[in-house]
Amino acid sequence: MTRTDGMTAAGYEPLREAFERNFAERGEVGAGLTVYRDGRPVVDLWGGEADPGTHRPWRRDTIAPLASTCKVFASAAVLLLAERGLVDLEAPVARYWPEFAANGKAGITVRTLLGHRAGLPSMHARPITWEDLRDWTPITDTLAAAAPEWPPGTAHGYHGVSIGHLAGEIVRRVSGVTLSEFLAREITGPLGLDCYVRVPDAALPRLATMVVPDADTVRLGMEVPELAGFVAALADPGSLSYRSFYGSVAIGWDATNDPRTYQVESPSMDGVASAHSLARFFAGLIGEIDGVRLLGPGLVDRVRTPQAEGMDRTLCAHTAWGIGFAVPGGPFWPAPPRLTGLFGQGGATGSFGFADPDRRIAFGYVPNRGSELLEGGDFRVRSLIEALYATLEDRERG
C-alpha cells in the first residue's frame, strides 16, 4: 500500500480514503491534494513517487506540470487588473492591444475572449514551437493577425493552446511586464505560491517526472460516450478540433520531461504548481489569505456566471464557461450535477483546481500520471470531488 503523508482535519477522513484509493485502484503514481475551507487547509495530503525511475518520494512542496489547469493564472491576472479598474471586461481587447483589431476582431471584448467565444482556438497557421514560447511575440503576432473561426460571440469553443497568450498579452500591454513577472509581483509572491507559467531554475529539483498514460489507459478515456465526437474529430486533420490541438503545437509528449518545456512562458499548456499552492491560489480568489484577497465578491459572481453553455466547437462535447474559468457542465467538469456556482479548470496531466464561493471551498489536486481523458477531469478527480461533497453534506446534517 502506498504511504500517504499530511494532515486531514476531523470529519474530512473520507478525502484521505479516496486519495489513498486512487493509488490502490486507479493507477496513481504520485500526487498531492489540498482543500481549503474558510481560508485554511482542512486537507493537505501527498504520497507516492515524484519520480518512479529514481523512487524520489512526493513531498508537500513537490511541483508538477498542470497542462491546461495553468490557464487559470493568466485569467486571474486579467481579472485582477479588472478588479483594480485597469481593464474593462466590456471593452474591446483592441483598446489594450491595438494590433488585435485586424481581420474582423475589433469588436471582441475582453469578456468574450475570456469566455472562449472569440473564435481563436487554432494556431495551425504557425504551430507553436519551443522557440516561439521562449520569444512570446511570434505567438501573439500570429493571434493578432488571425481571422476568427466563427463570428465572435455567437458560439464557444475551447481556446486550448491560445487563451494563455491572448490573456497574457493583455496583461503585458496594460502592466508593462511579462505575465510571469506580473504573477510573481501581484499574485504568487504575495500569497507565497509555488505556481508558475515559467519555472525558475531554483524550483526545478522539486519538479515531478510525468508518467504518460499507456495505450490501454488512453483507450479507456476514449470510450467515454460523451467524448465520441471529440475522439472522431481528432482523427480528422481537416476538423477544427484537430487544427486547434494536434495541428497547433509542434511539441509532442516526448518533451513532457524536458526541463526546457517549463522554462519558457507557456500559460496555456505548461505551467506547474504544487497541490497546496493551487488550492491556496483558489482560496485567495474568493477570500482573504494572510491579508491578501485577489477578487471582490462582485467580480467573483460575474466570473462564475455562465457566459456560454452547450456544444463546444473545438471539444465537440458539452462545456460551460464563465469569465476565464470553466464552470460545471459536461464530461470535463467532474462535479456532481447538484452543484452550481463553482469555477475552475482541469488539465491533461490529471490536475484539477476549483473554487466554491458559496461553501467557502478551494480545491487543488496535482498528480504526475497523465489523465486518461484528453482534457482532464478524470476518474481520480471525480472520486475526490464526490468524497469532498459527501463529507460536506454529512457535516451539514450534523
Residues 6+ apart with CB under 8 A from 320: 306, 308, 309, 310, 326, 327, 328, 329, 330, 333
| Of 68, 162, 244, 371, catalytic | 68
Residues 6+ apart with CB under 8 A from 28: 2, 22, 48, 367, 369, 380
Residues 6+ apart with CB under 8 A from 188: 73, 194, 195, 196, 277, 281
Residue 193 C-alpha from the chain's centroid: 16
Sheet bearing 64-65, strands edge to edge: 64-65, 272-273, 195-196
- Residue 247 phi/psi, 5° resolution? -80, -5
68 is catalytic: yes
List beta partners, residue 196.
272
C-alpha closest to that of 71 among 247, 361, 387, 332: 332
CA atoms 22, 24, 26, 30: torsion sign: positive
The amino acid that residue 33 corresponds to is L
To the nearest 10°, report the CA torsion of 54, 66, 389, 360.
Answer: 120
What is the C-alpha to C-alpha distance for residues 309 and 314, in angstroms, rounded to an integer? 13
What is the C-alpha to C-alpha distance for residues 222 and 93, in angstroms, rounded to an integer? 36
Residues annotated as part of the active site: 68
